[in-house]
Chain A
Amino acid sequence: MLVQFYNVSKIYPNGVKALDDISLKIDRGEFLFLMGPSGAGKSTLVKMLFREELPTRGQIFLASRSIVRMKRGDVPRLRRNIGIVFQDFKLLENKTVYENIAFAMEVVGTSSREIKERVMEVINMVGLKGKENSFPGELSGGEQQRVGIARALANRPLLLIADEPTGNLDIDTSHEIMELLFDINRIGTTVIMATHARELVKPAGKRVLMLDKGRIVADNPPGELVL
């Protein structure tokens, strides 16, 4: 078991109840869609996995370690096991594709020899060979998100979290990004993807967790989704 949520609730200081008694298990190697309307609690749930938010009640485990009881000093190690892909890519505009990916490895103290090898590897993996010296501003939205995914993969995470990764992309590009995420899942990385886009979820035939008003309203196993 990679991820376990036990009776997790989150109430923000302003009184908003974002999650209400969520219990959930995700296996290693799974691909999980997290669906639901805006404000359903998708982002809150995702942020708890890399401890940007802490639950008000309940317990969360990643690879059998409690995220909630974890000391502040142990948080970096937790996050190194998680790759995050953002809706708005969050690329550094003044760095090239290569440097953006290398950055993720530099900041966790990887040796420069290892960085050189791995960066080219992930650039090939996401299909950006030849673009390593481009700046994000020179790339299309889909290409930028590929850089974002490559960066998330650079440190060989156990878990890839994608929060609305296609939210800023057109439908064709979105399908290409989905294919890339499926490929990554196929070679063993667990993927959790929060999204609105039914048209991407439906043909995928993956497990889908539906959230509404902070509660799980459906947990459909792979291939059984009826939308």
Chain B
Amino acid sequence: MRPGSIIYFLREAFKSLSRNRLLSIATISTVAISILILGFAVLLTINAGALMQDLESDVEIVAFLDKKLTKSQITDIKQDLTAVSGVKSVKFVSREQALAKMQEKYGGNEYNLKETLGKNPLPHSYEIKADDPHNVPQIAGQVSKIDGIYKVNYGQGVVERLFKVTRWVRIVSIVFIVLLVFAAVFLIATTIRLAIFARRKEIYLMKLIGSTDWFIRWPFFIEGVFMGAVGGLIAILILAAGYSSLIGHMDTMFFIPLVTSPKILRNIYIGLLVCGATLGVLGTWVSLNRFLDV
């Protein structure tokens, strides 16, 4: 491509933008609305994902120990537990700590559990976290085989159901986003087709005069990128303003943890901007090819 051509392409692209102002605004608005919806869906998905991960990471195994174990036996068991593959951490909880926890959870200040029960009925235990919460049931099976452990508890039944739910939430949100992207491409392509249709005579003429397809495409692509990026930028500004005010209010209203990491949010916004520009080009590509077939 000659430098002269690049200047020509840019000039043509921006001439066309201002000449077809109404259609340009329509396209930019279409992109902005599409990206806004898409961005909303992405934020929702990311937050749902974070919530799911939060719930999943709460899943842990509690291994209760036989009551008549010596201190060294208890230490040996810890080593056995750490050796089980997939185990991330092992934490010892003494019977006293366990009772204190229970007191805090159920007794509050009104009942003294120790007095009510007469003596501490709780055994020593280990709290085990897995590298991947999905492996918890399998790790629990192995842990239960270790000598000195009489019972293993990880919320059997509930955990399996939780994982099923989180899996479906993830699948549904990905499908939803893919469908949204398709809808956006279609919508934007339709709007851009209007703009190109208005210039079909010019394109036909260029073809008959002997323009190459790429020479005709470039100005349209530049236009598409520009409209896509501007539309994307508008959507991101709205989205960012909305989300940050939501973060402000959520803290005081609900207990749902929102994703606030600036790095993640910045990546999402950059991704959406790229997405807008790509949609602009994709829409142009889809619409333009039909008119180039002369």
Contacts and interface: CB of A to CB of B under 8 A. Distances in A.
Interface of A: 50, 52, 73, 75-80, 82, 84, 90, 92, 94, 103-104, 106-109, 111-112, 155
18 contacts: A50-B208, A52-B208, A76-B210, A76-B211, A79-B208, A79-B209, A84-B209, A90-B201, A90-B204, A92-B201, A104-B209, A107-B211, A107-B215, A108-B210, A109-B2, A109-B215, A112-B4, A155-B210
A90 B210 contact: no
A108 B211 CA distance: 5
B2 A107 contact: no
Contacts of A52: 208, 294
Contacts of B208: 50, 52, 79, 84
Contact of B210 (A73, A79, A111, A112): A79
Interface string B192-206: 000000000110111
Interface in B2-36: 2, 4-5, 8, 19
Interface in B239-257: none
Contacts of A82: 210
B205 A106 contact: no
Nearest to B15: A94
Nearest to A90: B205
A82 B2 CA distance: 24
B4 A108 contact: no
A103 B205 CA distance: 10
Most chain A CB within 10 A, of B8, B208, B294, is at B208
Interface in B215-256: 215-216
B4 A80 contact: no
Nearest to A161: B208
Contacts of B215: 107-109
Nearest to B293: A72
B112 interface: no
A94 B19 contact: yes
Given A52-B208, A104-B209, A111 B4 contact: yes
B214 to A, nearest CB: 10
B142 interface: no
B153 interface: no
Most chain A CB within 10 A, of B204, B210, B211, is at B210
A107 B206 contact: yes
Contacts of B2: 109
A52 B293 CA distance: 9
B212 interface: yes
